Amino acid sequence: MNAQCKLVGLWLLGLVLFAQTGFCEEAQVAGLGAVTTRRVVVFGDSITAGYGLERSQAFPAVLQRKIEQEKLPFEIVGAGVSGDTTAGGLRRIAWVLGPGAAVCVIALGGNDGLRGIPPEETAANLGGIIRLIRSKCPTAVVILAGMRMPENYGAPYTQAFEALFPKVAAENGTPLVPFLLEGVGGIPEMNQADLIHPTEEGQIKVAENVWKVLHPLLLSLKQGK
């Protein structure tokens, strides 16, 4: 077998082993060494991806800088896809977690609301994402970020939409960021011209909202609690 064939064989073996371990366990692949980095996967849509900004300005990158400032042994993985819905997230979550995932922040649902998707459907998808994460990564901690819709969507829909996030969090025993866009949503100077996507300053505020829940969790994980 030539060198190229050996490399292809190792790559295929790696895929099989990662699939068997759920992409989260520390795996020894063909003598390449174990995965030791503890990752925080931020799973979301265009807000997570930093639409209209440099990747370094998106809130996952801001969280990474906060982690580095405190010398915490974690690495942020930004997994945002513009336009993604909870249904899309449910389809791709298993391939996004990556080896060494210790925490997964779910920041999805905004596009569901903008499209008028029934709240019960969004809730079912979020519950499915949480269950799939736990089946693949039993030790990973899941954080759910809440979202709200503008008032022009009508009181019945906006109230049902806002209520689904704490309900899903309570049913699944996950910490909740009450509102991902607290201090950003509906504030023109914190958003780009489309009034949907945060500016750099808005992304910093989003990071602060997530950090309030994530920070104590990382401190606890660092101490092995």
pLDDT, tens only, 103-126 = 999 999 999 999 999 999 999 999
Taking the C-alpha atoms of residue 124 and residue 108, their distance in angstroms, rounded to an integer, is 13
Q: Confirm whether 8 is domain-assigned.
A: no
If we measure between CA atoms, which residue out of 92, 112, 113 comes closest to residue 104?
92
Q: Confirm whether 13 is domain-assigned.
A: no
Q: Does 84 participate in catalysis according to the annotation?
A: no
Here the CATH number for the domain that contains residue 208 is: 3.40.50.1110
Q: Which of 45, 84, 112, 197 is catalytic?
A: 197
Q: Which of 112, 135, 194, 215 is catalytic?
A: 194
Q: Confirm whether 29 is domain-assigned.
A: no
Q: Which of 46, 82, 135, 220 is catalytic?
A: 46
Q: Does 194 participate in catalysis according to the annotation?
A: yes
Domain range holding 114? 37-222
Q: Confirm whether 75 is domain-assigned.
A: yes
Q: Confirm whether 31 is domain-assigned.
A: no
Q: Which phi and psi angles does 35 have, rounded to 5°? A: -85, 120
Q: Confirm whether 164 is domain-assigned.
A: yes
Q: Which phi and psi angles does 53 have, rounded to 5°? A: -130, 170
Least confidently predicted of 19-28, 102-111, 140-149, 160-169: 19-28
Taking the C-alpha atoms of residue 99 and residue 34, their distance in angstroms, rounded to an integer, is 10
Domains identified in the chain, total number: 1
Q: Does 45 participate in catalysis according to the annotation?
A: no
pLDDT tens, residue by residue, 37-70: 699 999 999 999 999 999 999 999 999 999 999 9
Q: Confirm whether 5 is domain-assigned.
A: no
